[in-house]
Structure formats: C-alpha cells, structure tokens
C-alpha cells in the first residue's frame, strides 16, 4: 500500500534519528505499508544507517535491529551453538512469504510487539538483551522478554530506537526444544513454546504467542510436571481470531510439557 502523503528521510547518522512531529521510524516497512497509517506524516529510514546485520561479539552474538529475518537465518553459526536450530524454527513460525522475510527486520518484529512475533519469541528464549538508543544520545539495555509488555505494547518511549540485540553465549550453547501451533495449517502462531537447558542445569521455559507478552520462568533444575503446571496456571491467555484463550491454554500446556521433557530427558 502506498502512503502517498508521507515524506521519507534516510538516516545516515544518529543525529538524523531525532523525530519531527508526525514522523516514525521505518525499517523493512512490511507492516507500515500493509495498512493505512493515519497520523503518520513522515518516515525515517533506519536501514540506511548501515549497521552490520549480525556480528560475533566474544563468544556471543549481536544482531542489528535492521537485520532481516532472512539475513539472520543465513548467518553461519559456530559449531558450539547448539541452540541455533531455534532460528529456523522461529523463522518458519512467521506467517510470511519469502518476499516478506527478505524485508522484515528483527527490530521491526520486536517493536511491533505482536504476540505472534516470532523474532521476539526467539530472542526472549535466548535471554537476548535489547540495546536501545534514547533520544538524549544515551543508551539503555533491557531483556527482550521484559521489553514487550503487551499486544502491540513495548517499553520503548517516543523517539527510542532499537539498535541491536545481544545474545549471550550460555544461551547459544544450550540445549533447546521448540513447539509451535496454529489454528489453521499455515496460520499465525497461537502458541510458541521454547525450553532451554543451560550447562549449569537451569531450565528456562518461554511462552509466547499464547500470551499477550512473553512469559519466562526459570527452574534451578529439571522441573516436575506439577511445577510446570504451576507456572502455566497463573498466566493470562491471549484472545483473538487466531485462537480462543481456553484452547491456547490447553495446547500450551501440552507443548510446555513436551519441550521440558525433551530438554531434560
């Protein structure tokens, strides 16, 4: 869809990120140009900042916010990154054609904060920390699991830009299991559940898509079935045309037990 009355400004430096009234940040544009955007009079293109899409930082990984889903999936992982198959699984969970995957960015997916945002699922499950540029020239860091606070809601304040996501080595080297379910064959995710077992025995359960925002719980060691049920019992279940809350609760329970069983077997 054309946004005919919208101006476009290419950001080259951080100073270009100061938004004028009515301006918003543009990344891949797959959402911006998918529906009318009343009130938006200008877009500031982040992709012209020239950020390296994916970089090794020590034993960990930095994913630029402007990295596309396709670029992330094409990155060659270290042999020690046993969690890497999660990237493909989460990419497949996105209801996108290959054309959208080539344009949609990881940062745009997180900033949009749809419950079915599978890059949010991936990064939250891997304990990734978002690096956020603040309008005063500063920087703050926040776990992706905490940054998305509801359907379409994040902690990003006006003018704040997602710069990158730092993925720690302990998560990349973990044992993981993932399950995803949709109401229809290639429908939007209704539940996406990841279990991760770290070298120290900690088990982390991350529930997304079924809940309005990511929910994460850490167990010091392999949890009992009752402990998993206990975590799920207190959750708020998302309700939209992609799945009713009681169904999401039922399938998430099944998937959570499966993934925990798989990483602790």
**Member of 11, 17, 23, 28 binding ligand FAD (CB under 6 A):** 28
CA trace torsion 125, 103, 238, 158 (10° rounding): 90
Least distance to ligand FAD from the beta carbon of 107, Å? 3
Longest Cα separation, the chain = 57
Which of 51, 157, 61 shows the shortest CA–CA distance to 105? 51
What distance in Å separates the CA atoms of residue 262 and residue 115, rounded to the nearest whole number?
24
| Of 89-97, 135-143, 234-242, 256-264: span binding ligand FAD (CB under 6 A) | 89-97
Rounded to the nearest angstrom, the gap between the alpha carbon of residue 115 and the centroid of all alpha carbons in its chain is 9
Does position 96 interact with ligand FAD (CB under 6 A)? The reply is yes
Which of 37, 47, 39, 41 shows the shortest CA–CA distance to 16? 47
Does position 95 interact with ligand FAD (CB under 6 A)? The reply is yes
The tokens 């060691």 sit on which residue? 221
Residue 246, judged by CB atoms within 10 A of its CB (0-12, 13-18, 19+), counts as exposed
| Of 107-115, 123-131, 176-184, 239-247: span binding ligand FAD (CB under 6 A) | 107-115
Least distance to ligand FAD from the beta carbon of 205, Å? 21
Least distance to ligand FAD from the beta carbon of 257, Å? 25
**Member of 11, 17, 54, 65 binding ligand FAD (CB under 6 A):** 65
x/- track of binding to ligand FAD for residues 38-57 (CB under 6 A):
--------x-----------
Is the Cβ–Cβ distance between 86 and 178 less than 8 Å? yes
| Of 103-111, 142-150, 199-207, 224-232: span binding ligand FAD (CB under 6 A) | 103-111
What distance in Å separates the CA atoms of residue 37 and residue 32, rounded to the nearest whole number?
7
Does position 63 interact with ligand FAD (CB under 6 A)? The reply is no
CA trace torsion 184, 189, 191, 194 (10° rounding): 130
Would you say 52 or 229 has its CB closer to ligand FAD? Answer: 52
- Tell which positions 132-191 bind ligand FAD, by CB under 6 A: 156, 161-162, 188
Would you say 125 or 231 has its CB closer to ligand FAD? Answer: 125
What distance in Å separates the CA atoms of residue 227 and residue 208, rounded to the nearest whole number?
19
| Of 90-98, 143-151, 227-235, 246-254: span binding ligand FAD (CB under 6 A) | 90-98
DSSP letter for each residue of 74-91: HSPPPTT-TTTHHHHHHH
Count of residues in contact with ligand FAD, rule CB under 6 A: 31
Binding residues for ligand FAD, per CB under 6 A? 24-32, 34, 46, 65, 94-96, 100, 103-105, 107-109, 111-112, 114, 116-117, 156, 161-162, 188
């Amino acid at each position: 869809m054309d946004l005919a009355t919208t101006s476009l400004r290419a950001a080259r430096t951080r100073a270009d990120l100061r938004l004028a009234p009515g301006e918003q940040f543009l990344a891949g544009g797959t959402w911006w140009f998918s529906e009318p955007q009343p009130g938006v009079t200008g877009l500031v293109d982040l992709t012209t900042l020239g950020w390296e899409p994916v970089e090794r930082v020590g034993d960990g990984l930095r994913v630029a916010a402007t990295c596309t889903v396709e670029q992330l999936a094409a990155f060659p992982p270290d042999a020690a990154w046993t969690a890497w198959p999660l990237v493909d699984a989460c990419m497949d969970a996105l209801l996108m054609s290959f054309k959208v995957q080539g344009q949609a960015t990881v940062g745009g997916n997180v900033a949009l904060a749809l419950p079915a945002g599978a890059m949010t699922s991936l990064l939250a499950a891997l304990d990734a920390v978002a690096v956020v540029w603040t309008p005063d020239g500063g920087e703050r860091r926040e776990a992706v699991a905490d940054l998305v606070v509801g359907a379409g809601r994040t902690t990003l304040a006006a003018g704040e830009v997602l710069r990158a996501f730092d993925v720690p080595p302990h998560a990349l080297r973990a044992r993981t299991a993932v399950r995803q379910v949709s109401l229809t064959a290639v429908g939007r995710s209704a539940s996406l559940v990841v279990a991760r077992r770290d070298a120290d025995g900690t088990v982390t359960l991350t529930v997304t898509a079924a809940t309005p925002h990511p929910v994460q719980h850490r167990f010091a060691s392999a949890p009992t079935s009752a402990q998993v049920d206990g975590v799920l019992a207190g959750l708020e279940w998302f309700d939209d045309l992609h799945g009713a809350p009681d169904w999401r609760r039922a399938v998430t329970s099944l998937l959570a037990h499966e993934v925990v069983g798989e990483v602790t077997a």
